[in-house]
Chains A and B, each alone.
Chain A
Amino acid sequence: MDMSQYLDIFMEESKEHLQSMNDILMQLENSPKNINLLNEIFRIAHTLKGMSGTMGFSNIASLTHEMENILDDIRNKNIVITAKVIDVLFECFDELESYVDQIEKHNNEGALTSQDLVKKLQALKHHEDIGEAKQPLKNFEVSDDAQPIDITINHYTNDIIKKAIERDFNVFSIKITLDKKCMLKSARAYIVINTLEKLAEIIQSTPSIEDIEDEKFDLSFELIIVSKCDEAYIRKELNGISEIESVEVLDFKNTRYSVEFSEEDDKNLEKFEEHQQALDSPSSENKKEEANSRKSKTGKTVRVDIDRLDNLMNLVSELIIIKTRLEDIDDLEKRQRMNEATEHLERITTSLHDAVMKVRMVPIERVFNRFPRMVRDLSKELNKEISLIMTGADTEVDRTVIDEIGDPLIHLIRNSIDHGIEDTGTRLRVNKDKQGTVKLSAYPDGNSVVIEVEDDGKGIDIDKVKAKAIDKNIISLQQCQLMEDNEIIQLLFTPGFSTADKISDISGRGVGLDVVKTKIEALGGTVEVNSSINKGSKFVIRLPLTLAIIQALLVVTGDEKYAIPLNNIKEISTIEANSIRKVQGNEVVLFRNTTLPILRLSKLLNVPNYVEDKLEYTIVIVKKGDRTAGIVVDELIGQQEIVIKSLGKFLSNIKGIAGATILGNGSVALILDTNSFF
């Protein structure tokens, strides 16, 4: 059977599974006793095994099989989780990831490379097998791992009940029969469940909660709950609900029960895990709710081919162009009636635009979630204790940004860990917490998204940067003396600059920060550094929310129209022609007590037949990081929503031009890349 049509789905899903495996391994390392995490990994390994088996990827299948064996032993307490075990599991993860990568690139999983790993896994098992005699299995049999899911289920149920009883919880089986006249059965059942959830944890329901919600039950349903409350109280609470015919509450011990889960899909599993989690930490109700909402959310997402989205986006673009064209109709008489229609059209296009943009938005989590592992590995490698604090992972950014922002962020984080954070000894000497902190945060800010990478390390040594810059002939000594600290720091982004004394594997190859900057600017964003000695440094990345439709200011120079992206503009002002001074051949004016370089758009763009005859100039003050410059234009047309069109492969990288857009009258206006002017 041809499996290739499923390959994409396989790739997508296995990547997702691997990512969550990674996350959970990280968590497991921190709380090795948490059985839920273990179950989760087990579940993932099993799912992967099944998926890859179906697709005929035997290497992945066999490796996950071995992982399952080990995980099962851990779960049965035959193996104690040690750092070594975690390391081997991480290695397994890496191996799986490389198999999946291989499949993505070559459509096959390549040669079997995991024999060593399998041996390691088996060694773990055998080493601990000796201990097995001392710790015999308690309750249940481990059957052959051909059907591990069954074991899992049995185990869960047993485990929850066992644990509950151990912890002095009461376990009840409740049978609710609704009144025959009850009109809205599912709503009534919902009230019952809701009431019970306030008092107890529902660990099982027959039929399932989903079926109950869909009214797929007769008049009665059964629930198994775990609660601190006693039987009488629960009964009293339930009897308070109307339209219920009878309530039977039985202490679980007296209930005849057989563990019979015929349908063990992932959903069920997840639910059990959640219940279990709630049991483990009955106080953390919020956490459970959070997990609940997150899970139901993922259920609602649809994978959409990005091409289709782009197409939708283009349609919207066209619509916006038409809208602008309508706005331009000058006939006064018609205008009256047109206005109303245009306004309506505007409302529609705006909301359509928003809707499409939202479809393209994905939480930045997708980038962030690979960092904990990276930081863990780096801190081990460099022997520094580092904690990574991530906030705002749910901030949404455009899909394109997700794909591009990973590398720059990796670089900044590595930079912070390698160059920023001191080794433990130094930290203790300067009275800092032994553990270094890297903060990664994302938040929306107006029309842009801000991502910050902050460390509490030694900060950037301005003098060292100066020395290096002079040494590398990036600036001259004279220039250096004139520069402010802030400007000096920006030199870090110059190509070929690296202040690390030693070239390490992690950073310090000098290809770093300038690449970061280029990449971020390519996305239409900016990057800035703030740093204070011994307190740490902070890199602030600012990215536009949307990449295809932007707000721009239309300006005229000569008889040509150009668009300047609004996010590059600081303000607009006028200056007297005679206030312009020349400093070393460059024009500047004194503007609000700072010198502002003046650039003439007509010169920058070599506008033909341009006559310079004004007494007063309109300047658009543009910003690039902390720097500003005033661009002289002849006329301002106004602010407009423009659709960015690429100039195509043939004309890539024209100096000063970022792209083009189509104006309401159908003519093309070029979008200026003001960052390249100064």
Chain B
Amino acid sequence: MDNNNERTNQYVIFKLEEEYYGVAINFVETIEKVLEITRLPNTPHYIKGVINLRGEVIPVIDLRTRFKMGEKTLTEESRIIILTVEEMTIGLLVDSSSEVLTIEKENIDNTNSLINHTEDDYIKGIGKEDDRMIIILDILKILTQDSQEV
């Protein structure tokens, strides 16, 4: 998976609060407007529920809750990014998402020394693009560590 990331430098960019985040494009299936979400009882709070995506039932993770940002009501801009990682298909609920950027490897800083949060683990690096800082997420880690907690 890592190798794939290195090879394609394209990232789907989305927003949470005022921050920009990116996930490697090869994991992304589609970006959907928010569909009706059915609550899933007895699961961690950051699992928002499940959606019906053209006949498939797909779990949705609320990234805001996941990153302890506090909930926000859904807006017109809200999106669900559908990802497939290691045969798992999930949706990420984000505030907005509109672009795909190519970020060269040399423009991505390793973050280990910079940030010291709990979510540190899921951050692969910080990309710079036209004065914007883009937090590149390690999606595989988010999912696999999540499922262990579930």
A interface with B by C-beta (< 8 Å) = 317-318, 321, 560, 604-608, 645-651, 654-657, 660, 662, 666-670
Minimum Cβ distance to chain A for residue B23 (Å)? 16
**B59 interface contact, C-beta 8 A:** yes
Q: A605-B42, A657-B42, A666-B36 are in contact. Are A651 and B59 (CB under 8 A)?
A: yes
Chain A residues, Cβ within 8 Å of B88:
648-650
A646 to B90, CA, bound (A): 13
B interface with A by C-beta (< 8 Å) = 36, 38-43, 47, 49-52, 55-59, 87-90, 143, 146-147, 150
A606 to B41, CA, bound (A): 7
Minimum Cβ distance to chain A for residue B32 (Å)? 13
Return 13 A-B CB contacts under 8 Å, by A number.
A605-B41, A646-B57, A648-B58, A648-B59, A649-B88, A649-B147, A651-B50, A654-B40, A654-B42, A654-B43, A660-B38, A666-B52, A668-B38
A608 to B39, CA, bound (A): 10
Q: A645-B57, A648-B89, A650-B147 are in contact. Are A668 and B51 (CB under 8 A)?
A: yes
A655 to B41, CA, bound (A): 8
CB nearest to B37 among chain A residues: A668
* Contacts A607-B41, A648-B58, A649-B87 supplied; 19 other A-B pairs, CB < 8 Å: A317-B55, A318-B55, A560-B39, A605-B41, A647-B59, A648-B90, A650-B88, A650-B150, A651-B43, A651-B59, A651-B147, A654-B42, A654-B43, A657-B40, A660-B38, A662-B52, A662-B55, A666-B52, A668-B52
Chain A residues, Cβ within 8 Å of B50:
647, 651, 660, 668, 670
Total contacts A to B, CB within 8 angstroms? 77
Chain A residues, Cβ within 8 Å of B39:
560, 608
Q: Classify the interface of chain A: helix, strand, loop or mixed.
A: mixed
Task: Determine which of B40, B55, B58 lies in contact with A670 in the assembled complex, contact meaning CB atoms within 8 Å.
Answer: B40
Chain A residues, Cβ within 8 Å of B52:
662, 666-668
Chain A residues, Cβ within 8 Å of B51:
668
Q: A647-B50, A654-B43 are in contact. Are A321 and B55 (CB under 8 A)?
A: yes
Q: Across the interface, do B57 and A648 meet the contact criterion of CB distance under 8 Å?
A: yes
CB nearest to B55 among chain A residues: A318
CB nearest to B35 among chain A residues: A666
A581 to B88, CA, bound (A): 45
CB nearest to A643 among chain B residues: B55
Q: A647-B50, A648-B59, A666-B36 are in contact. Are A656 and B147 (CB under 8 A)?
A: no
Q: Across the interface, do A650 and B55 meet the contact criterion of CB distance under 8 Å?
A: no
Instruction: Identify which of B58, B89, B147 gathers the most chain A CB atoms within 10 Å of its CB.
Output: B58
Chain A residues, Cβ within 8 Å of B47:
651
A321 to B54, CA, bound (A): 11
Q: Across the interface, do B42 and A656 meet the contact criterion of CB distance under 8 Å?
A: yes
Q: A650-B88, A650-B90 are in contact. Are A667 and B59 (CB under 8 A)?
A: no
Q: A650-B88, A650-B90, A651-B47 are in contact. Are A670 and B38 (CB under 8 A)?
A: yes
A647 to B91, CA, bound (A): 13
Q: Across the interface, do B147 and A660 meet the contact criterion of CB distance under 8 Å?
A: no
A352 to B58, CA, bound (A): 27
Q: A650-B90, A657-B41, A657-B42 are in contact. Are A668 and B57 (CB under 8 A)?
A: yes
Instruction: Identify which of A604, A608, A657 gathers the most chain B CB atoms within 10 Å of its CB.
Output: A657
A606 to B56, CA, bound (A): 25
A317 to B150, CA, bound (A): 29
Q: Across the interface, do A669 and B55 meet the contact criterion of CB distance under 8 Å?
A: no
A651 to B43, CA, bound (A): 9
A648 to B47, CA, bound (A): 14
Chain B residues, Cβ within 8 Å of A604:
41
A521 to B13, CA, bound (A): 44
Chain A residues, Cβ within 8 Å of B38:
560, 660, 667-670
Q: Across the interface, do B57 and A662 meet the contact criterion of CB distance under 8 Å?
A: yes
Chain A residues, Cβ within 8 Å of B146:
650
A530 to B21, CA, bound (A): 61
Q: A651-B47, A651-B150, A660-B50 are in contact. Are A667 and B36 (CB under 8 A)?
A: yes
Q: Across the interface, do A660 and B57 meet the contact criterion of CB distance under 8 Å?
A: yes
CB nearest to A608 among chain B residues: B39
CB nearest to B85 among chain A residues: A650
Minimum Cβ distance to chain B for residue A224 (Å)? 62
A670 to B59, CA, bound (A): 12
Chain A residues, Cβ within 8 Å of B36:
666-668
Minimum Cβ distance to chain B for residue A669 (Å)? 7
CB nearest to B36 among chain A residues: A667
Minimum Cβ distance to chain A for residue B57 (Å)? 4
CB nearest to B47 among chain A residues: A651
Q: Across the interface, do A647 and B87 meet the contact criterion of CB distance under 8 Å?
A: no
Chain B residues, Cβ within 8 Å of A662:
52, 55, 57
Q: A650-B88, A651-B150, A668-B51 are in contact. Are A645 and B41 (CB under 8 A)?
A: no
